[in-house]
Structure 1
Amino acid sequence: MTGHVFTVAGGKGGVGKTTTAVNVGVVLEDAGYDVVVVDADLGMANLAAMVDVEYDSSLHEVLAERAAVSDTLTEAPGGLTVVPGEQSLEAFADADPAKLRKVIKTLSNAYDVVLIDTGAGLSHEATVPLGLADSVLLVTTPDTVAVGDANKTAGLAERVDGDVVGSILTRATGPDDVELVAGDLGADLLAIVPEDSEATTDEPLVLNSPDSPAAEAYRRLGEILEDVLIGEPARSIDEQDTVWFPEDDEEDEADEEADDEGSGGVFGVFGR
C-alpha cells in the first residue's frame, strides 16, 4: 500500500503554502505517520531556508538526473523529512518537471504521507503536482486576488484529475474574512489560520510557538486530514463542534477577556 499524497497549492505567492505544508507535516508526524515534505516550487524554493536545514542534494538535481531521490532526504525539526529545492536560475533551467512523477511515486512507496509544496501561478511545474495528488489542499488569504487564483487552481486541478478536498484560509483577522472567503471559494473551508502577531517567525509554528492560535489551527487541520488518510471525507469548518469565533452578542465580552489575557481579540477562542 502506498502513502497518501497531498498537494498544497494556491495560485498566488505568499499565501502560506510552505508554512501549511511544514506545520501539517509535523502534526501528522507527531500523530505517528512517517511524513516527507517535497519542495516542488521549482522557481522559488524556500523550504530548506524556512526550516533552517542544510542539505547535500536537491530535488532540482534529481529532476536534472544528477542525483537519486535518496540523496535528497534531509532531517528537519519535529522528526520531519524534507526534500529541498534550490533557488538558482541554473538549477531551475535544468530541472524537468515531468520527472516529478517518478520522484513522488518513489516517496509514496517509502512514506505514509507525502506533502508537495507547490509554486504560484498556473505554469507547467505548478500543474504537474496537482495531477499527482491523492488530495489537493488549496491555500488562500482573504485577499480577493488570492481567492480568485485559488479558484483557478481548483479548476486546473479538475482538468488534470486532481481531487480538491478543501481549502485553508490563512492570515484571517476576523469573522468578516471567513464570510467573504466562504462565499467566494469553490472548495469547502477546512481550516482558518489567524493572523498571529504573537507567534514566532521560526517554523514550524507547532513546535516553536505551540500555544499560538495559528499553531492550534494547524493542529486542528492535521486532525481533519487524519480522517482523509483513513478514507473518511474531510470535515468542513462549519461541521466541527469548535467555536471558532464568538457570537455577535458575545463579541464585546470576548474582546474584553482577550484584552485582559493578552490573547489577541476574537482569536482568543483558539487554543481553549
Structure 2
Amino acid sequence: MTIASGKGGVGKTTLTSNLGVALASYGEDVTLLDADVTTANLELTLGMEGQPVTLNNVLSGDADIKEAIYEGPGGVKVIPAGLSLSSFRKIKIDLLEEVVESLLSETDMLLIDAPAGLEEDALTAIDVADELILVTTPEIPSISDALKTRIVANRFGVDILGVVINRDRSDKTLLTPKEIEIILKTPIIAKIPEDPDISRSAAYSIPYVLKNIKSPTYNSIMQLAADIIGKNYIPVTTDKKGFISKLIEGITGKRENTVMNEE
C-alpha cells in the first residue's frame, strides 16, 4: 500500500509512520518503506537516521534489501531511504518494483511512503502499489495537486482506498469534506484533526500514537488502521491535552518552581 500526496508538507510521512505503528498494535506484521530517495524523512520522524545500509544502497546494487530492514518503534520494521549523496547518484529507481515484490512475501502489510509530486520516483512508488491512500489538507492548492495524483493512479490501474484529510479544522475558508469528495471523486476514509502535538512528536522522533493515547487524533488514526484491516475499534475517552504538551508544561513548570525557590 502506497501513501501518496500531490503536494509536500501535508503530513504524509508522519501519517505513514503513525499508521504503521497503529496497524502493528493490532498484531499486524508491518514494514515501512521510505521510497523518497531524494529527500528522505521517514527515518527522521522515527529517530532512525544514520543506518549503515538503506534503500539507496539497495537500488544502487550495493546491498540486498534484507540488509536494509531495521526494527523500529512500536513493533514496525523500517527500511530507510538514506541520506547519502554518493549512493543517490547510482540508484536505479526502476528496481523498486523488484524490491517491493520481494518484501510482500515477508510481511503482512507493506506501507510505502511515496515522494510528493509527480517526478519519476513518485510515479514509480505509485505504479508499484496494489492499493493507495491519498493524503491531503483541506486547502485548495493541496486538493489540486492531490487530484493530479489521483488521475495518475487511475491511469496506472492502482486501487485507491480513499482520501485522508489531514489537519482538519473548522475554517470557512477551507473546502468541506463533501466538496473534497466531489473534486477528487474519491471517498474520504479518515479526517485527522489539526493537532500541534503531531509536529512536536515528529520533532522528538516519537510516533504520536505511542504517547498521545487520549486524543481525537489518536482515535482517528487508530480507527483508520482498524478500518483497513477490518477490525473493530472502540474510541478512547479523549483528554484535552496531549502527552507532548503535558511534557513541555511539566518541564516549564519545574523550571519556574526552581527559579521561585532560588529567589
The answer, yes or no, to whether TM exceeds 0.5 is yes
CA contact (8 A) 1:142 1:180 kept: no
Aligned match for 2:217, one of 214, 218, 230: 214
1:33 to 28, 34, 38: 28
- Taking the aligned partners of 2:77 and 2:210, their CA distance within structure 1 comes to 15
Structure 2 counterpart of 1:201, which letter? S
Q: Which residue of 1 aligns with 2:245?
A: none
2: distance between equivalents of 1:263 and 1:30?
A: 23
1:140 matched residue in structure 2: 136
Q: Is the 8 A contact 2:197 2:208 kept in 1?
A: no
Aligned residue runs from structure 1 range 69-148, under 5 A: 69-148=65-144
1:178 equivalent in alignment to 2:177:
yes
Other-structure match for 1:155: 151
Compute the displacement of 1:262 (Å).
Answer: 4.1
When residues 154 and 123 of structure 1 are mapped into structure 2, their CA distance, relative to the original with a 3 A threshold, is same
Task: Quote the sequence identity (%).
Answer: 33
Q: State the Cα deviation string for residues 201-260 of structure 1 (Å, max 9, x = none).
A: 233110022222222111010011113xx9xxxxxxxxx999xxxxxxxxxxxxxxx9xx
Note if contact 2:40-2:82 (Cα within 8 Å) is conserved in structure 1: yes
Matched, 1:43 2:43: no
In structure 1, the partner of 2:201 is: 201
- RMSD of aligned Cα (Å): 2.4
Task: Find the aligned partners of 2:241 and 2:111 in 1 and give their Cα distance.
Answer: 31
The separation in 2 between residues aligned to 1:215 and 1:180, in whole angstroms, is 25
Q: Distance in 2 between matches of 1:163 and 1:63?
A: 26
Separation of aligned partners in 2, 1:12 and 1:105: 27
Structure index of larger Rg: 2
The whole-number CA distance in structure 2 between the counterparts of 1:215 and 1:95 is 37
Does the C-alpha gap of structure 1 residues 141 and 207 become closer, same or farther in structure 2, counting only changes over 3 Å?
same
Contact 1:133/1:162 (<8 A) preserved: yes
Q: Distance in 1 between matches of 2:94 and 2:217?
A: 35
Alignment partner, residue 236 of structure 1: none
Aligned to 2:164: 168
Would you say the 8 A contact 2:150–2:184 is kept in 1?
no
Structure 1 runs not aligned, ≥5 long? 1-5, 231-239, 243-257, 265-272
The 1:215–1:241 alpha-carbon spacing in structure 2 relative to 1, beyond 3 Å, is closer
Q: CA deviation at 1:93?
A: 2.5
CA-CA distance at 1:129 after TM superposition:
1.8
Distance 1:184 1:262 in 2: 33
8 Å contact kept, 1:196–1:212: no
Amino acid of the residue matched to residue 91 of structure 1? S
Q: TM-score w.r.t. structure 1 length?
A: 0.79
For residues 116 and 201 of structure 1, the distance between their equivalents in structure 2, rounded to whole angstroms, comes to 21
